[in-house]
Amino acid sequence: MKMLGSSTRGLPPKEKRLLYRSCVLPIATYGYRLGYYEGARCKKALSLLRTMQRKAGLWITGAFSTSPTGGIESLAGLIPVHLHLQKMAGRANFRAATLSDTHPLRSILSQGHYKGAQPHPCAISQMSEAFRRKVKGTVMEIDRHLPELTELFEPVASEARPGTRLMDRFSDQVIFDDCGPLLEQDALEARERDLSTILRNVRLSDDTVYCSVDASLPDNAQHQAVSAAILYWELEEFNRVHHVAGRVTAPDAELFAIRSAITLATQQDNCEKIYIFTDSIASARRAVDPSLHSGQGHSLAVC
């Protein structure tokens, strides 16, 4: 890596960071959940990881060896190691909710998380309250934090089976009009003309519902996101809805808005085509993807 980091013929800083994030960090944190959990004594391991990341930051930025670690990480775009582990641990806790109903891990959790699994003799539900307070580990942490997740997942949903997916059966009837980034003024004006032509043609059709969807996220963590949709038939607006989307990311809120529009549009008589105008093409593609992901319930409703 020193050869790759040569200041004269080496990689640029952006590619150095990519190499560290994609190759070094996953290997360094492999199996970290065995020793990283609430109450674990891992101060020495964290110290080693911080030393590793400091060396990586110096390698990426080319800074002096006496530079402060926090400044190096900021310039290199690296999240501090302890925060990175916290983020991955939180995601790992909630990922247990995506397991199938009969997964072996469910058999050792508390009674509320069994679903279709048979309880194990050494399950958490078989422990006394006093013994539970003494036991520490990853499984105990998962069992403690799973109730905080309110979103429901269907690992084996019928809509997600190969061959029965929406895009497997009707890929020719679902079209995405993605224009990509518009950096030049001429391209922007051409795109506006194309959209105006599409809108004019849709308004002349008597079997088409066209919708405008969008989402809004607050600037602070105290409020929730909002998803909204406006539905039109020919020249008239016939419905307008907005929903509280919860404390979610922007793509999830956009997905909720698309789901609201399609749900209402399919309830209209003589509706043969649906046009969705959105500024999030990624959420539009996710709307017809029934596999496990954040907001899977919205995608299943759309399908």
Residue 4 falls inside a structural domain: no
pLDDT of residue 69: 93
**Long-range CB contact pairs, 16-25, < 8 A, 24+:** 16/59, 16/60, 17/60, 17/76, 17/77, 17/78, 20/56, 20/59, 20/60, 20/78, 21/78, 24/52, 24/56, 25/84
Residue 153 falls inside a structural domain: no
pLDDT of residue 114: 87
Residue ending a domain, choose from 92, 107, 126: 92
pLDDT of residue 133: 87
Domain span at 134: 99-148
185 falls in which pLDDT band (50, 70, 90)?
confident
**Which whole number is the average pLDDT over 81-93?**
94
Check pLDDT > 90 for residue 111.
no
pLDDT of residue 184: 82
Check pLDDT > 80 for residue 180.
no
pLDDT of residue 22: 94
**Which whole number is the average pLDDT over 2-30?**
88
Same-domain pairing of 223 and 246: yes
Residue 265 falls inside a structural domain: yes
Residue 72 falls inside a structural domain: yes
Same-domain pairing of 196 and 295: yes
> How far, in Å, CA of 52 to CA of 97, rounded?
33
Give per-residue pLDDT as tens, 198-238: 999 999 999 999 999 999 999 887 889 999 999 999 889 99
Q: How many structural domains is the chain composed of?
A: 3
Same-domain pairing of 279 and 187: yes
Give per-residue pLDDT as tens, 36-85: 999 899 999 999 999 999 999 999 998 999 999 999 999 999 999 999 99
Same-domain pairing of 105 and 77: no
Residue 282 falls inside a structural domain: yes
> How far, in Å, CA of 284 to CA of 247, rounded?
20
Helix H or strand E segment including 225? strand 225-233
Same-domain pairing of 86 and 196: no
116 falls in which pLDDT band (50, 70, 90)?
confident
Residue 215 falls inside a structural domain: yes
Neighbours of 8 (CB within 10 A): 4
Same-domain pairing of 20 and 118: no
Same-domain pairing of 188 and 216: yes
